[in-house]
C-alpha cells in the first residue's frame, strides 16, 4: 500500500517536470552553471593544495656552505644542522649532502643542449650543500635563521615563498568560489522556486479538488518536492559528466604543456581522486536546492 | 451531524454573509438550502467545509466542534464529506475512471480497494460504459454524475452540494436530484444549496431559507412559504 502511494506521488512529480519543459530547462541550465562553477574552482583549489604538498616534500630547504670549506668542517656543519631544535623538538627529518660533483652534474644535465656553456665551469667551483627535510613546515622560519648563524654557511634557500604564494592563491580562490557559489545558489533557489510556482499554477485546479477530497498538505506538496529534487539531481548528474570530461581533457593539455614540462615535479590530481567529494557536494547541492526551492514556492503559492 | 450554534460570518470586506445562524441537520436527512443570489448559501457551505472560518459561534460536525480544529486535521474532516459543485470540477486530462480513482489515491487507498470501489460507483451513477472517456466527451449531466461518484467514492457520511444543477437543463437537473435522493435513501446525509424552485417544490424535503444572511425559514415543504 505504502509503495503504491509513494509511486503515485513520484510519478506525479515527474509529470510536473515534463509538463513545464521550458522552465525545467532554464532551471537545469542555471543549476548546472552553479555546479560547474563550483566544480571548476574546487578542482583548481584541490590541485593547488596538491602542488603545495609536492613542493613541500620535494623542494625542501637547501643550505650551502663556503666553497673552500675543508671536509672536517663540512662534517661538523652537517652535525650541527642535524641537531637543530625548535621549541625543544627535533626540527630536521632528513638531511642529505649534495657533493660538488653532484651539483656540477645537475647543472650539466640542465644545460646539456648548450655544452659550450659548461666549458669554463669546473667541479671545484660548486658549493657543497645540504638538502633538508623538516619534521614540520611551520619550523621553516626558525630553522632558516638558525642555519644562517652557523659558521661557514653562506646561503640558505627554501620554498617558503613559493608555498605561501600558492597557499594565498588557494585561499583567494576559495574565497572567490564561496562568493560566486553563494550568489549562484541564491539565483538557483529563485529559479527553481519560480519553476515550482509555474507548476503549482498549472495544477491549481487539481490542488483545489485535492483539498476538497481531503488530501493532507504533505500529500499535496510531495509531487512538487519531487519535481524540485528531480531537477536538482538531474543537474548534478549532467554537471558530473561535463566536469569529468572537461577536467580530464584540460588536465592532459596542461601536463603536456611547456610550463608543466619545465617543472618536472608537478603532477595533477586525477579526476578519480576528487570525484567522490564532488559527487557528494553535487547531490547535496541538487537535493538541497531542490527541496528548499520548492519549499519556498509552496509556502508562497500553495495555501493549504 | 451538522450543527450551527449562533454562527456569524463577516468577510474581511465588511460583508455580513451569515448572521447568527442556528440549525441542526441529523444523520440521514435531506436538506435544501435556498435563498436569492448573494443571500449567503455558498458561505454557509464553505463554513461547513471549513473553507471559511466563522467570525462568531460554533459549528459541530459529527459530534466534534470544528471551531478550534487544527489546520492539519482539516483534511480528515473533509474526508467525512463528499463535495459537489455547479461547475463539476473534473480534471480534463484524466479519464472518468481516473477522476474517481484520484479521490482514493489521496486517502491512500489500496490498489485492490480502488479497483473494486471505482467501478461500483460508476455503476451507481449509471456511467459504467464511460470509464475510459475524458470529461469533455461527456454531457453536463454525465460530468456531474462523475463528480458525484468522486464525492461518494470514499464513503463519506454526508454529501454537500452547492448548486449541483445550476449548469444543467431541467430534465438533467431532475435526474441528478433523483440520484442525490437515492444516495440519501442509502443513508448518506445530503445538503443541497439550490435555486431550482420546481425541484424543491416537487421533492418536498426540509428547506432552510436564508435571506441576507439570516435564516428566515426552516421547515419541510416547498421553495417558498407562500404558495
Ligand atoms: N470571499 C469573499 N469575500 C468577500 N465577500 C464575499 C466572499 N464570498 C462571498 N462574499 C459576499 O457574501 C455574500 C454572500 O455570498 P454567497 O456566495 O454566500 O451567496 P450565495 O447565496 O451563494 O449566492 P449565489 O446564489 O449567487 O451563489 C455576498 O454579498 C457576497 O458578495
Ligand atoms: Mg453560491
Q: Which residues of chain B make contact with A216, given a CB cutoff of 8 A?
A: 72, 75
Same domain (yes/no): B74, B112: no
Of A125-134, A161-170, A181-190, A236-245, the range with the lowest mean pLDDT is: A161-170
Out of B155, B177, B195, a domain closes at B155
Same domain (yes/no): A191, A281: yes
Same domain (yes/no): B20, B68: yes
Is residue B160 very low, low, confident or very high in pLDDT (cuts 50, 70, 90)? very high
Same domain (yes/no): B142, B197: no
Same domain (yes/no): A175, A49: yes
**A83 or A7, which is more confident:** A83
Same domain (yes/no): A289, A177: yes
Same domain (yes/no): A182, A99: no
Q: Is the pLDDT of residue B145 over 90?
A: yes
Residue B165 sits in a domain whose CATH number is: 3.40.50.300
Same domain (yes/no): A197, A73: no
CA distance B116 to chain A (A): 15
Same domain (yes/no): A139, A198: no
Q: Is the pLDDT of residue A206 over 90?
A: no
**A201 or A117, which is more confident:** A201
Which residue does chain B place closest to A1, by CA atoms?
B110
Segments forming the whole domain that contains residue B139: 91-155
Same domain (yes/no): B97, B129: yes
Same domain (yes/no): A211, A278: yes
Out of A158, A184, A214, a domain closes at A158
Which residues, other chains included, contact B116 with Cβ-Cβ below 8 Å and sequence gap of 6+? none
Q: Which three cell numbers stand for residue A133?
A: 627535510
pLDDT of residue B96: 97
Q: pLDDT tens digits, residue range B34-89?
A: 999 999 999 999 999 999 999 999 999 999 999 889 888 999 999 999 999 999 99
A21 vs A186: CA distance, rounded Å: 22
Please tell me the total count of domains within chain A: 2
CB of B135 closer than 6 A to ligand 1? no
Which is nearest to B190 in space by CA: B52, B1, B34? B1
Is residue A1 very low, low, confident or very high in pLDDT (cuts 50, 70, 90)? very low
Same domain (yes/no): B165, B210: yes
Same domain (yes/no): B39, B70: yes
Asked if B91 lies within 8 A of A206 by C-beta distance, the reply is: yes
Q: Which residues of chain B make contact with A215, given a CB cutoff of 8 A?
A: 75, 106-107
Q: Note whether residue B2 is domain-resident.
A: yes
Same domain (yes/no): B4, B61: yes
pLDDT of residue A265: 55
Query: Which of B51, B75, B84, B92 is the best substitution to test chain A (most A C-beta atoms within 10 A)?
Result: B75
The answer to whether A161 touches A137, Cβ cutoff 8 Å, is no
Out of B122, B155, B188, a domain closes at B155
Segments forming the whole domain that contains residue A147: 60-158
Asked if B110 lies within 8 A of A219 by C-beta distance, the reply is: no
Same domain (yes/no): B227, B178: yes
Which is nearest to A23 in space by CA: A194, A203, A190? A194
Please tell me the total count of domains within chain B: 2
Share of chain A above pLDDT 70, in %: 92
- Nearest-by-Cβ selection for A209 from B72, B77, B91: B91
Asked if B89 lies within 8 A of A208 by C-beta distance, the reply is: yes
Which residue does chain A place closest to B84, by CA atoms?
A212
Out of A125, A158, A191, a domain closes at A158
CB of B105 closer than 6 A to ligand 1? no
Strand partners, B3: B24, B60
Distance B85 CA to ligand 1 centre (A): 15
CB of B189 closer than 6 A to ligand 1? no
Same domain (yes/no): B2, B66: yes
CB of B38 closer than 6 A to ligand 1? yes
Which is nearest to B186 in space by CA: B221, B146, B159? B159
Q: pLDDT tens digits, residue range B176-226?
A: 999 999 999 999 999 999 999 999 999 999 999 999 999 999 999 888 876
CB of B35 closer than 6 A to ligand 1? yes
Asked if A214 lies within 8 A of B150 by C-beta distance, the reply is: no
Average pLDDT over all residues of chain B: 94
> B112 CB near a chain A CB, below 8 Å?
no
- Nearest-by-Cβ selection for A214 from B89, B91, B107: B107
- Nearest-by-Cβ selection for B106 from A1, A4, A214: A214
Distance B85 CA to ligand 2 centre (A): 10
Of A180-194, A215-229, A250-264, B52-66, the range with the lowest mean pLDDT is: A250-264
pLDDT of residue B124: 93
Which residue does chain A place closest to B147, by CA atoms?
A209
Of A15-24, A111-120, A203-212, the range with the lowest mean pLDDT is: A111-120
Q: pLDDT tens digits, residue range A134-149?
A: 887 778 888 888 888 9
Which is nearest to B195 in space by CA: B213, B182, B207, B181? B207
Same domain (yes/no): A151, A294: no
Q: HEC profile for chain B? A: CEEEEEEEEECCCCCEEEEEEEEEECCCCEEEEECCCCCCHHHHHHHHCCCCCCCEEEEEECCEECCCCCHHHHHHHHCCEEEEECCCCCCCCCCHHHHHHHHHHHCCCCHHHHHHHHHHHHHHCCCHHHCCCCHHHCCHHHHHHHHHHHHHCCCCCEEEEECCCCCCCHHHHHHHHHHHHHHHHCCCEEEEECCCHHHHHHHCEEEEEEECCEEEEEEEECCCCCC
Distance B191 CA to ligand 2 centre (A): 13
Distance A281 CA to ligand 1 centre (A): 53
List the residue whose alpha carbon is closest to atom 9 of ligand 1.
B43
Asked if A213 lies within 8 A of B72 by C-beta distance, the reply is: no
Q: Which three cell numbers stand for residue A243?
A: 566536469
Same domain (yes/no): A221, A240: yes
CB of B37 closer than 6 A to ligand 1? yes
Residues 32-71 in B contacting A (C-alpha not used; CB under 8 Å): 49
Out of B155, B171, B188, a domain closes at B155
Out of A102, A131, A158, a domain closes at A158
Residue A73 sits in a domain whose CATH number is: 3.30.70.3040
Same domain (yes/no): B168, B146: no
- Ligand having the closest approach to the CA of B41: 1
List the residue whose alpha carbon is closest to atom 8 of ligand 1.
B43
Same domain (yes/no): B33, B137: no
A223 vs A218: CA distance, rounded Å: 9
- Nearest-by-Cβ selection for B83 from A4, A205, A212: A212
Q: Note whether residue B86 is domain-resident.
A: no
Same domain (yes/no): A35, A107: no
Same domain (yes/no): B31, B98: no
For residues A117-128, average pLDDT: 83
Ligand 2 ion: residues within 5 Å (CB):
B 42
DSSP codes joined into one string, chain A: -HHHHHHHHHHHHHHHHHHTHHHHHHHHHHHHHHHHHHHHHHHHHHHHHHHHHHHHHHT-EEEEE-TT--HHHHHHHHHHHHT-EETTEE-EEEEEEE-HHHHHHHHHHHTTT-GGGGTT--GGGSPPEEEEEES-GGGHHHHHHHHHHSTTEEEEEETHHHHHHHHHHHHHHHHHHHHHHHHHHHHHHHHHHHHHHHHHHHTHHHHHHHHHHT--HHHHHHHHHHHHHHHHHHHHHHHHHHHHHHHHHHHHHHHHSHHHHHSTT-----HHHHHHHHHHHHHHHHHHHHHHHHHHHHHHH---
Share of chain B above pLDDT 70, in %: 99
Of A4-13, A85-94, A123-132, B123-132, the range with the lowest mean pLDDT is: A4-13
Same domain (yes/no): A123, A261: no
ipTM of the complex: 0.86
Amino acid at each position: 500500500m505504502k509503495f503504491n502511494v509513494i509511486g503515485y506521488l513520484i510519478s506525479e512529480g515527474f509529470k510536473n517536470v515534463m509538463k513545464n519543459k521550458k522552465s525545467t530547462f532554464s532551471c537545469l541550465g542555471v543549476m548546472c552553471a552553479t555546479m560547474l562553477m563550483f566544480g571548476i574552482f574546487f578542482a583548481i583549489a584541490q590541485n593547488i593544495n596538491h602542488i603545495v604538498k609536492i613542493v613541500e616534500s620535494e623542494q625542501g630547504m637547501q643550505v650551502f656552505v663556503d666553497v673552500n670549506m675543508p671536509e672536517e668542517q663540512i662534517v661538523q656543519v652537517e652535525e650541527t644542522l642535524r641537531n637543530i631544535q625548535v621549541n625543544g623538538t627535533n626540527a630536521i627529518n632528513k638531511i642529505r649532502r649534495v657533493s660538488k660533483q653532484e651539483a656540477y652534474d645537475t647543472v650539466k644535465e640542465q644545460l646539456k643542449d648548450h655544452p659550450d656553456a659548461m666549458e669554463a665551469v669546473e667541479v671545484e667551483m660548486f658549493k657543497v650543500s645540504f638538502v633538508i627535510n623538516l619534521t614540520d613546515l611551520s619550523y621553516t622560519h626558525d630553522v632558516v635563521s638558525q642555519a644562517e648563524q652557523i659558521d661557514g654557511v653562506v646561503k640558505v634557500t627554501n620554498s617558503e615563498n613559493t608555498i605561501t604564494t600558492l597557499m594565498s592563491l588557494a585561499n583567494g580562490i576559495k574565497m572567490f568560489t564561496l562568493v560566486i557559489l553563494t550568489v549562484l545558489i541564491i539565483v538557483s533557489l529563485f529559479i527553481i522556486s519560480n519553476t515550482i510556482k509555474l507548476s503549482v499554477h498549472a495544477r491549481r485546479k487539481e490542488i483545489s479538488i485535492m483539498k476538497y477530497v481531503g488530501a493532507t498538505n504533505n500529500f499535496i506538496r510531495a509531487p512538487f518536492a519531487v519535481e524540485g529534487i528531480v531537477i536538482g539531481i538531474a543537474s548534478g548528474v549532467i554537471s558530473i559528466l561535463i566536469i569529468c570530461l572537461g577536467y580530464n581533457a584540460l588536465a592532459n593539455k596542461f601536463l603536456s604543456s611547456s610550463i608543466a614540462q619545465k617543472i618536472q615535479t608537478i603532477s595533477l590530481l586525477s579526476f578519480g581522486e576528487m570525484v567522490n567529494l564532488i559527487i557528494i557536494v553535487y547531490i547535496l547541492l541538487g537535493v538541497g536546492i531542490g527541496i528548499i526551492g520548492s519549499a519556498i514556492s509552496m509556502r508562497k503559492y500553495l495555501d493549504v | 451531524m451538522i450543527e450551527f450554534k449562533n454562527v456569524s460570518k463577516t468577510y474581511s470586506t465588511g460583508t455580513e454573509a451569515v448572521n447568527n445562524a442556528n440549525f441542526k441537520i441529523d444523520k440521514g436527512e435531506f436538506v435544501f438550502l435556498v435563498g436569492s443570489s448573494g443571500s449567503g448559501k455558498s458561505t454557509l457551505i464553505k463554513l461547513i467545509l471549513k473553507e471559511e472560518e466563522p467570525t462568531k459561534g460554533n459549528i459541530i460536525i459529527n459530534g466534534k466542534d470544528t471551531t478550534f480544529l487544527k489546520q492539519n486535521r482539516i483534511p480528515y474532516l473533509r474526508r467525512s464529506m463528499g463535495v459537489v459543485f455547479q461547475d463539476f470540477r473534473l480534471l480534463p486530462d484524466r479519464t472518468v475512471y481516473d477522476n474517481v480513482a484520484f479521490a482514493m489515491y489521496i486517502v491512500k487507498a489500496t490498489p485492490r480497494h480502488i479497483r473494486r470501489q471505482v467501478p461500483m460507483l460508476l455503476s451507481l451513477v449509471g456511467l459504467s460504459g464511460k470509464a475510459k472517456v475524458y470529461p469533455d466527451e461527456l454531457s453536463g449531466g454525465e460530468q456531474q454524475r462523475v463528480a458525484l461518484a468522486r464525492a461518494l467514492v470514499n464513503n463519506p457520511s454526508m454529501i454537500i452540494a452547492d448548486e449541483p444543477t445550476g449548469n444543467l437543463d431541467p430534465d438533467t437537473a431532475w435526474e441528478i436530484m433523483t440520484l442525490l435522493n437515492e444516495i440519501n435513501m442509502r443513508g448518506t446525509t445530503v445538503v443541497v444549496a439550490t435555486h431550482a424552485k420546481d425541484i424543491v417544490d416537487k421533492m418536498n424535503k426540509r428547506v432552510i431559507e436564508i435571506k441576507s444572511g439570516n435564516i428566515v425559514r426552516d421547515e419541510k415543504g416547498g421553495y417558498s412559504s407562500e404558495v
